[in-house]
Amino acid sequence: MNNDDTLSFDLKGIQECQQNRYPQLFVDSIVDVIPGVSARGFKNFTYNEWFFPSHFADDPNVPGHIQIECLVQTFIMTFLCMDLYRGMKTNFVSINNAYFKRKIIPGERLEIRATLDSFKRGIAKGSAESFVGEEIACSADFLITLPDVLENFKPKKK
């Protein structure tokens, strides 16, 4: 896809948009971003990752919670790339329909495709799925808030 109407972000650009940092930053690049619509991200897994030696020593693979973080960190770039929301804090509200279809092992590259279904009053709803090659690895639906935006819509105390 990557044409003149899409955005791309390297690690520095990702960190300008979202607050995740090592060791909790789980995407290496974000490409083909259509702000307010979709994003595509990549994570290259090497045996050097801090979790592989303990998960598991005889059969290293990516833990489920890290797979979910890869998905959501790509998903939040669908709106955090917009100037108005760049760098804002995000909070999980819900993770639904999470499915793990295949094991991800050292040396594999994960491609994540995220879609923003709606974004209103600081509440983002959408989904993401990941692939190793053409084989689906994981998918989930998300409800994420931007607390600083959401605060503007809460009723004021009298």
Q: Which pLDDT tens digit goes with each residue over 11-26?
A: 999 999 999 999 999 9
Residue ranges per structural domain of the chain: 7-153
Identify the H or E element spanning 70: helix 64-75
Q: Catalytic pick from 55, 82, 95, 106?
A: 55
Which CATH superfamily does the domain covering 7-153 fall into?
Hotdog Thioesterase (3.10.129.10)
Terminal-residue alpha carbon distance, the chain: 51
Q: What is the pTM of this model?
A: 0.94
CA 15 to chain centre: 12
> How many C-beta neighbours within 10 Å does residue 139 have?
19
Closest CA to 81 of 2, 28, 6: 6
65 carries an active-site annotation? no
Question: Which residue type occupies 31?
Answer: V
Summarize pLDDT for 36-55 with one digit per residue, the tens: 999 999 999 999 999 998 88
Taking a C-beta distance cutoff of 8 angstroms, is the pair 30, 9 a contact? yes
